[in-house]
Amino acid sequence: MKRVYAREEICGGCKLCEVHCAVAHSQYPNDIIKAFLKQKTKPIARILVEEGRPISFALQCRHCEDAPCTKACITGAMQKDPVTGIVANDETRCVGCWTCILVCPFGAIKRDESGHKVASKCDLCATVGGTPVCVQNCPNDALVFTDELWRR
């Protein structure tokens, strides 16, 4: 399946991907100003830029083949789509027990406590379709959406 890969040699650590991810998953997905000013709680990015001199890179759910989060989920809310491979959380059933955080080896799940507690994670912008917004908006092309082999 296509996943988002970060090129740590190129990432400048500007965190625009975080901003665009937060907006795309907010109540105002098309309006960056409203998303940050109008929504009662600060929109949460489902991608995280890790920084450490001299490198930085963005990290989000890897949509693992064996997806430990889906096996550990106590309610059955976290599931991997057998066709697309996308791991997504049914937020109506999630109870915010954070068992998925306990087992996610990438630390890719965030706690969203703005409403009823839910586990918040990358959905590859499945609802938008096409290329995820983090990839679209990276000014340095440090994020690649692909399922092809790389030559280093």
Ligand X SMILES: Cc1cc2nc3c(=O)[nH]c(=O)nc-3n(C[C@H](O)[C@H](O)[C@H](O)COP(=O)(O)OP(=O)(O)OC[C@H]3O[C@@H](n4cnc5c(N)ncnc54)[C@H](O)[C@@H]3O)c2cc1C
Classify 76 in phi/psi space as left (phi over 0), alpha (psi -120 to 50) or beta: left
Whether the Cβ atoms of residue 55 and residue 9 lie closer than 8 Å to each other: yes
Q: What does the alpha-carbon distance between residue 30 and residue 101 come to, in Å, rounded to a whole number?
A: 29
Place of tokens 């955080």: 101
User: Cβ-count burial of 147 within 10 angstroms (0-12 exposed, 13-18 middle, 19+ buried)?
Assistant: exposed
Q: How far is the CB of 72 from other proteins (least distance, A)?
A: 4
Query: Is 152 one of the binding residues for other proteins (CB under 8 A)?
Result: yes
Query: Is 26 one of the binding residues for ligand SF4 (CB under 6 A)?
Result: no
Q: Rule CB under 6 A: choose which of 10, 95, 97, 101 binds ligand X.
A: 97
Query: Is 62 one of the binding residues for ligand SF4 (CB under 6 A)?
Result: yes
Out of other proteins, ligand SF4, ligand X, none, what residue 61 binds, judged by CB under 5 to 8 A for its kind, is ligand SF4
Out of ligand X, ligand SF4, other proteins, none, what residue 152 binds, judged by CB under 5 to 8 A for its kind, is other proteins
Beta-bridge partner residues of 119: 111
User: Cβ-count burial of 4 within 10 angstroms (0-12 exposed, 13-18 middle, 19+ buried)?
Assistant: buried
Rounded to 10 degrees, the C-alpha dihedral 59/55/26/144 comes to -60
Tokens linked to 135: 């990839």
Query: Is 74 one of the binding residues for ligand X (CB under 6 A)?
Result: yes
- What count of residues does the chain have? 152
Q: Rule CB under 8 A: choose which of 33, 40, 92, 139 binds other proteins.
A: 92
- State the residues that interact with ligand X by CB under 6 A: 74, 97, 99
- State the residues that interact with other proteins by CB under 8 A: 3, 5-6, 48, 50-52, 55-57, 59, 62, 65, 68, 71-72, 74-76, 92-93, 95, 97-107, 109-111, 146-152
- State the residues that interact with ligand SF4 by CB under 6 A: 61-64, 67-69, 73-75, 77-78, 87, 89, 94-100, 104, 106, 108-109, 119, 121
